[in-house]
Amino acid sequence: MASTTHIADVLRRRNNRSFFERLAGGDEIAYSITLIAAVAILAIVALIVLELWTHSTPTVKTFGFGFLTSSAWDPNSGKFGALPFIYGTCLTSFLALLIAVPLGVAASVFLAEMAPPKLSDVLTFLIELLAAVPSVIYGLIGIFILVPAIRDYLVQPLKAVFGFLPIFQGDFYGLSFLSAGIVLSIMVVPFIISVSREVLLAVPTELREAALALGATKWEATWQIVLPAASTGIIGSAFLALARALGETMAVTMVVGNTPKITASLLSPGYSIAAVIANEFAEASGDLYVSSLIFLGLVLFGLTIVINALARILILTTTRRGMK
Amino acid sequence: MTLEISPRRRVINFVMLSLSGVCTVLVIAVLFFILGYLFVHGARSLNWNFFTKLPKPAGETGGGMANAIVGSGKVLLLATVVGVPVGFLAGVYLAEYSGKTFAFVIRYVVDLLNGVPSIVIGIVGYALVVRPMHHYSTLAGGIALGIMMIPIAVRTTEEFLRAVPNSMREGAMALGATKAQTVFTVVVPAAASGLMSGMMLNLARVAGETAPLLFTALGNMFWSKGWLAPIATLPVMIYNYAIAPDEDLHQQAWAAGFVLLLLILVVNVTARMIIARGPASSRR
């Protein structure tokens, strides 16, 4: 009895310690330091937005938001327009998704629904390892292996079959929207596979069993039951891949051709937002030139944030629903 | 009673399932063919000069990347000093101290920072450090990469601290430890192996980053003295040499790609094995 009151007494004393006592004990210091670190991150992000915004004001003041819809890019005569870069960024990313989503989803179906768990884990580990390969390495591979391979083996058949389409017209010299799209697709496939696989694995087993019990084949159960149940999350994985493709710099810079041009032809060289910043920023002279590039950075920042947020919401809704 | 499945459905089932297997094999084959090529070609282009010599002036063959190897090390050291403490402490805050709403805000902002394209981080490094100081520097490159390390540092710290069972915290508190003592002498050491491998993965991720260094660290053909001069790094060298119209430089780019990728993959495999075997994951 006595000991219980003693413990209660100690606890009360500890909880009633003054602020300075706790400070001396190190508690408040430790708490404050971690809090400061957390707040510092908020400050850093705020600073990023602020820096991008203040440094892009000369461009905003000179061109207004017409900057975004103008396609003139001639630094020598002081003309700056963002459209060719926005077009190139969107086109290459779209191409990448067009190739990577079907392949990635099919592979994730195999890994989640068919492969034995051990094999699936090993393959997923290998695929996730590929996500660690830096983009400059993909660029290196793009320039020296993929671009020649595309030129020698892919473009001729494409032109022979689909040559009448405007997207496959004109000459092909190697560096092009098409090359950038293909390199990007290889880079984002690992992301699509690993996220889609997680989402598929979160679909309750009962759904599969019910479908199979009703006489569906494995494929029918997957196609008509599991995939629809996971569709939001899979779309989320595609958005995640899109955000990455949009912001991807080095690999695109190395294979896209770096020519500010808007054409329907995928075989022609182009440019992207990230690529133009990477190429021209260090040599840019004059306030307007630099601030135009920074404004392009701000546009890219905004684009990726919106897409990332969408992806996160989509993935969260499915994995949560699956866990219930 | 047996269920009748028509031959047509059987065939479709077989074809589609095989197709998904083929897609998996295709993806893995393409990726590994590419990496295999890099390893074979890169290893062949590698020689001792690569590690010991400075780059030769344009037009001369030979030379190496000794300064870029040291440069990458210096920039990464600086990045770790900048990024890891902030990320680690914020992760501790999220796992051990924070309330719900504020934690949600911080987590959201951390995710946001993680999604910022690397080239934009480069611009920020330029605007924050290079412009005020009027020259490119190791410091600017280190700060840019440090900012990139923060989000992953926060997330891994929070994740691994959360994996430490509550009974350990309660045990420490019951022995009379203060909250701070509990967190920093019991919980953090319990998660140490996970935290270390998380940081290794983090470092491996930024080690290959090129875009943030293009106009912060810039590059340098010689040894970079101190922390305020431009400095050569492996990823930027790979980029510059790959787009240069010179076969000898291309060979060196392959060699550098090989060395960089080998380091990154070795760190990744080691760290992931430590995490997979660690006590934190078995308890989950």
One-character DSSP codes across A41-99: HHHHHHHHHHHHHHHTHHHHHHHGGGGGT----BGGGTB---HHHHHHHHHHHHHHHHH
Tell me if B11 is assigned to some domain: no
Do A277 and B210 lie within an 8 Å CB cutoff? no
Nearest to B182 by CA among B102, B92, B51: B92
Token reading at B227:
């922390």
Tell me if B139 is assigned to some domain: yes
Whether residue A238 has pLDDT greater than 60: yes
Tell me if B202 is assigned to some domain: yes
Continuous segment of H or E residues that includes residue B35: helix B7-45
- Round to whole Å and give the CA distance between A120 and B229: 48
Q: Does B154 touch chain A (CB under 8 A)?
A: yes
3-state helix, strand, coil in chain B (%, to 5): 75, 0, 20
Contact B219, B230 (CB under 8 A): yes
Q: Measured between beta carbons, which residues in chain B are less than 8 angstroms from residue A36?
A: 89
Looking at residues A250-273, what average pLDDT do you find?
A: 93
Do B115 and A305 lie within an 8 Å CB cutoff? yes
CATH number of A82-323: 1.10.3720.10
Q: Which domain holds residue B213?
A: 63-283
pLDDT at B70: 95
Output the domain CATH number for residue B181. Answer: 1.10.3720.10
Q: Does B20 touch chain A (CB under 8 A)?
A: yes
Give the dihedral of Cα atoms B137, B140, B141, B142; nearest 10 deg. Answer: 120
Contact B136, B215 (CB under 8 A): yes
CA B66 to chain CA centroid, Å, is 22
Q: What are φ and ψ of residue A74, in 5° steps?
A: -140, 85
Query: Residue A3: pLDDT band by 50, 70, 90 thresholds?
Result: low
- Round to whole Å and give the CA distance between B82 and B145: 9
Q: Does B152 touch chain A (CB under 8 A)?
A: no
Query: Residue A324: pLDDT band by 50, 70, 90 thresholds?
Result: very low
Tell me the per-residue pLDDT of A183-211, one tens digit each, with 9 for 90 and over. Answer: 999 999 999 999 999 999 999 999 999 99
Q: Does B34 touch chain A (CB under 8 A)?
A: yes
Tell me if B21 is assigned to some domain: no
pLDDT at A323: 46
- Round to whole Å and give the CA distance between A239 and A213: 34
pLDDT at A202: 92
Tell me the per-residue pLDDT of A67-94, one tens digit each, with 9 for 90 and over. Answer: 999 998 998 888 899 999 999 999 999 9
Nearest to B52 by CA among B67, B36, B39, B31: B67
Count the domains in chain B: 1
pLDDT at A7: 66
Neighbours of B62 (CB within 10 A): 11
- Round to whole Å and give the CA distance between A267 and A170: 7
Q: Does A7 touch chain B (CB under 8 A)?
A: no
Which of B97, B210, B254 has its CB closest to that of A135? B210
- Round to whole Å and give the CA distance between B174 and B172: 5
Tell me the per-residue pLDDT of B214-225, one tens digit each, with 9 for 90 and over. Answer: 999 999 889 988
- Round to whole Å and give the CA distance between B207 and B154: 18
Residue the block writes with tokens 């900012």: B147
ipTM of the complex: 0.91
Neighbours of A231 (CB within 10 A): 14
Contact A216, A224 (CB under 8 A): yes
Query: Residue B281: pLDDT band by 50, 70, 90 thresholds?
Result: very low
- Round to whole Å and give the CA distance between B154 and A44: 14
Contact A123, A115 (CB under 8 A): yes
- The Cα-based distances of B65 to A102, A140, A158, B220 in angstroms read 41, 17, 41, 11
Tell me the per-residue pLDDT of B34-78, one tens digit each, with 9 for 90 and over. Answer: 889 888 988 888 889 899 989 988 778 888 899 999 999 999 999
Q: Average per-residue pLDDT in chain A? A: 89
User: How near does any CA of chain A get to the CA of B53, in Å?
Assistant: 22
Whether residue A14 has pLDDT greater than 80: no
What is the identity of the amino acid at A314?
A: L
pLDDT at A10: 63
Helical segments of chain A, H only:
2-15, 19-25, 27-55, 57-63, 83-109, 117-130, 135-141, 147-149, 155-162, 177-202, 205-213, 218-220, 227-247, 250-255, 273-280, 287-323
Token reading at B142:
């280190």
CA A181 to chain CA centroid, Å, is 14
pLDDT at B7: 87
Identify the weakest region by mean pLDDT among A162-171, B117-126, B146-155: A162-171
DSSP, collapsed to helix, strand or coil, labels residue A115 as coil
List the single residue in B with minimal CA-CA distance to A29: B180
pTM of the model: 0.90
Q: How many beta-carbon pairs below 8 A join chains A and B?
A: 256
Residues 130..159 of A with a Cβ closer than 8 Å to B: which?
130, 132-137, 139-141, 143-146
- Round to whole Å and give the CA distance between A118 and A102: 24
Q: Does B263 touch chain A (CB under 8 A)?
A: no
DSSP B151: H
pLDDT at B167: 94
Tell me the per-residue pLDDT of A20-69, one tens digit each, with 9 for 90 and over. Answer: 666 666 788 889 999 999 999 999 999 999 999 999 999 999 998 889 99
- Round to whole Å and give the CA distance between B18 and B1: 29
Whether residue A284 has pLDDT greater than 50: yes
Residue the block writes with tokens 């510059």: B240
Sequence-ordered list of residues with C-beta below 8 angstroms from that of B65, at least 6 positions apart, any chain: B50, B51, B55, B232, B234, B237, B252, B255, B256
Residues 239..258 of A with a Cβ closer than 8 Å to B: which?
243, 246-250, 253-254
Whether residue A111 has pLDDT greater than 80: yes
pLDDT at B3: 58
Q: Measured between beta carbons, which residues in chain A are less than 8 angstroms from residue B268?
A: 129, 132
Percent of chain B with pLDDT over 70: 96
DSSP, collapsed to helix, strand or coil, labels residue B136 as coil
Q: What are φ and ψ of residue A100, in 5° steps?
A: -80, -35
List the single residue in B with minimal CA-CA distance to A297: B120
Facing residues of B63 across strands?
B55
Tell me if B5 is assigned to some domain: no
Tell me if B217 is assigned to some domain: yes
**Angle at the Cα of B79 from the Cα atoms of B76 and B80, rounded to 5 degrees:** 90
Token reading at A27:
């508690």
- Round to whole Å and give the CA distance between B132 and A281: 16
Q: Label residues B230-266 b or e (16+ Cβ within 10 Å = b).
A: bbbbbbbbbbbbbbeeeebbbbbbbbbbbbbbebbbe
Query: Residue A1: pLDDT band by 50, 70, 90 thresholds?
Result: very low
Do B123 and A294 lie within an 8 Å CB cutoff? yes
pLDDT at B282: 41
pLDDT at B4: 72
First-to-last CA distance in chain A? 46
Token reading at B283:
């308890």
Contact A280, A85 (CB under 8 A): no
- Round to whole Å and give the CA distance between B52 and B88: 36
